[in-house]
Amino acid sequence: MSVKHPNAVAISAPEETSRQLLEAASEVFARRGYRATTVREICRLAGANVAAVNYHYGGKDGLYAGVMQYAQQCAYEKYPPDLGLRIGATAEQRLEAFVRSFLLRIFGDGREAWHGKLMAHEMIEPTRALDALVEERIRPMSKQLGEIVGKLLQRPAGDKSVRMACLSIVGQCLFYHHCKPVISRLFPDEAFGASDVDRLASHITRFSLAALEVMAKDRLPAVRAVPRRLADARHK
Amino acid sequence: MSVKHPNAVAISAPEETSRQLLEAASEVFARRGYRATTVREICRLAGANVAAVNYHYGGKDGLYAGVMQYAQQCAYEKYPPDLGLRIGATAEQRLEAFVRSFLLRIFGDGREAWHGKLMAHEMIEPTRALDALVEERIRPMSKQLGEIVGKLLQRPAGDKSVRMACLSIVGQCLFYHHCKPVISRLFPDEAFGASDVDRLASHITRFSLAALEVMAKDRLPAVRAVPRRLADARHK
DNA sequence: ACGTATTTAAAACATGTGTTTGAATTGTCA
DNA sequence: TGACAATTCAAACACATGTTTTAAATACGT
Which of B79, B97, B173 shows the shortest C-beta gap to A233? Answer: B97
Question: What is residue B220's predicted lDDT score, i.e. its pLDDT?
Answer: 52
Assign domain A16-66 to its CATH superfamily: Homeodomain-like (1.10.10.60)
**Residue boundaries of the structural domains of chain B:** 16-67, 79-220
**Which of A165-169, B60-64, B106-110 bottoms out in mean pLDDT, i.e. has the lowest?**
B106-110
Position B177 scores a pLDDT of 94
Task: Sort out which chain A residues have CB atoms less than 8 A from B198's CB and list them.
Answer: 234
A131 contacts B179? CB cut-off 8 A: no
Closest nucleotide to A15's CA, by C1' atom?
D7
Please answer whether residues B34 and B64 qualify as being in contact, where contact means their C-beta atoms are separated by less than 8 angstroms.
yes
Higher-confidence position of A30 and B111: A30
* Cβ(B17)–Cβ(B52) below 8 Å: yes
What's the Å distance between residue A2 CA and nucleotide C29 C1'? 21
Helices (H), chain B: 16-36, 39-46, 51-57, 60-78, 91-107, 113-124, 128-133, 139-153, 160-178, 180-186, 197-217
A174 with B171: Cβ contact below 8 A: yes
Give the 3-state secondary structure of residue A158.
coil
| pLDDT tens, residue order, chain A (236 aa) | 333 333 333 333 457 899 999 999 999 999 999 999 999 999 999 999 999 999 999 999 999 999 999 999 999 999 998 888 889 999 999 999 999 999 999 998 888 899 999 999 999 999 999 999 999 999 999 999 999 999 999 999 999 999 999 999 999 999 999 999 999 999 999 889 899 999 999 999 999 999 999 999 876 544 444 443 444 444 43
Residue B52: pLDDT over 80 = yes
Least confident of A9-13, A219-223, B47-51, B83-87: A9-13
Closest CA to B33 of B95, B124, B105, B112: B124
- Residue A36: CB less than 7 A from any atom in strand C: no
CATH 2.40.50.180 describes domain B79-220: no
B-interface mutation test, from A141, A179, A213, most B Cβ less than 10 A away: A179
**Nearest nucleotide relative to A35: CA against C1':** C17
Size of interface A-B (CB pairs under 8 A): 211
Q: What is the pTM of this model?
A: 0.86
The predicted structure's pLDDT at residue A220: 52
Residues B117 and B177: their CA atoms lie apart, in Å, by 9
Residue B14 has pLDDT above 70, yes or no: no
Whether nucleic acid strand C comes within 7 Å of the CB of B30, the answer is: no
Q: Do A171 and B171 touch (CB under 8 A)?
A: yes
CB of B136 less than 8 A from some CB of A: no
Chain B CB contacts of A131 under 8 Å are 185
List, for residues B176-231, the tens digit of each pLDDT value.
999 999 999 999 998 898 999 999 999 999 999 999 999 998 765 444 444 434 44
Is CATH 1.10.10.60 the classification given to domain B16-67? yes
Q: How far is CA A152 from CA A161, B79, B234, in A?
A: 12, 36, 21
Chain C positions with an atom below 7 A of a protein C-beta are 5-12, 16-22, 27-29
Q: How confident is the model at residue B102, as a pLDDT? A: 96
CATH number of A79-219: 1.10.357.10
Coil/strand/helix, residue B190: coil
Choose, out of B90, B94, B175, B204, the residue to mutate when testing the contact with A (most A CBs < 10 Å).
Answer: B175
**Lowest mean pLDDT: which of A32-46, B76-90, B159-173?**
B76-90
Is residue A230 within 8 angstroms of chain B, CB to CB? yes
The H or E element that residue A164 is part of is helix A160-178
